[in-house]
Amino acid sequence: MKTQITELFGIEHPIIQGGMHYVGFAELAAAVSNAGGLGIITALTQPSPEALAGEIRRCQDMTDKPFGVNLTFLPARNPPDYPGYVRAIIDGGVKIVETAGNNPQKWLPLLKEAGIKVIHKCTSVRHALKAESIGCDAVSVDGFECGGHPGEDDVPNFILLPRAADELKIPFVASGGMADGRSLVAALAMGAAGINMGTRFVATHEAPVHQKVKQAIVAATELDTRLVMRPLRNTERVLNNAGVERLLEKERRLGTDIAFSDIADEVGGIYPRVMKDGDLDAGAWSCGMVAGLIHDIPTIGELVERIMHQAEEIVAKRLHGMLSQA
């Protein structure tokens, strides 16, 4: 399938694996890229730029296909060594970067000078237009359904994607609620040039996370996610668990007086405990509503092949048949 995204990134299928904390290691990125999609290493999961450089080399040992690096710019009292991470990406020969969080404008000249294509994650049309205006090559449009941070506008993809198509000149991919060939065809119909999947790729054989995490996603329904940190305007969609219930109880009790320090036990340092140790109730960890569409733990090759086969069947048979009968 040929789209603006496959052409831009030199990949076979318009499927991107989003950057995910303590999930986006070389094993996952290489497997997605080898299956014809675009795998993504998560930079800030690595404790230092030197560690990221090593992870990039490890990925290059596992695939000769294009892969990217996610670099999330977060407000922090003691920010990560962003210049070092950017240098590790450039020196490592990576040609695709997924940026997220704060405006990446400061870093674009360096990345562009190195011939790197940049796709920025956005949760609104206005943010997508800003990304376009500063020179991003593409954007990932994240609807309210997505795991992680959906922004504060609460606009689902059935509205957000056509709105983005109306306004943007650069290509974009749909993120949030993407799981199968139906998702891909629907996203393409609404103007996207591909899909970005996070939660679906966690529940795969190659995902380097604890088996309990994969099983929890398979067992969950579309009703099992919760929105946390809304009072702090840092909304995150997470899978419900005992830690999340504790967090939500604090939000109810403290109301508008709540501070980040009040919930630090439920959100700080959670990902290693969940993803590596399988401590599912440790606290809040990202999961999309798409869990309701995930019923197995396939290999990534099987998953991508299934998605593309289903998408082709829908377009060539079901939709074409409807058109022929008209």
238-273: per-residue pLDDT in tens? 999 999 999 999 999 999 999 999 999 999 999 999
In the predicted model, is pLDDT for residue 324 greater than 80? no
**Per-residue pLDDT tens digits for 117-152:** 999 999 999 999 999 999 999 999 999 999 999 999
Tell me the CA distances in angstroms from 252 to 2, 247, 256, 283, one per residue in order.
49, 9, 9, 17
**Per-residue pLDDT tens digits for 171-221:** 999 999 999 999 999 999 999 999 999 999 999 999 999 999 999 999 999
Q: With b meaning 16 or more CB within 10 Å and e meaning fewer, what string describes 63-81?
A: bebbbbbbbbbeeeeeebe
In the predicted model, is pLDDT for residue 325 greater than 70? no
Q: CA 305 to CA 13: how far, in whole Å?
A: 10
* pLDDT given at position 75: 78
* pLDDT given at position 77: 75
Q: What domains does the chain contain, in order, with CATH numbers?
A: 4-209 (3.20.20.70)
The pTM (predicted TM-score) of the whole model is 0.96
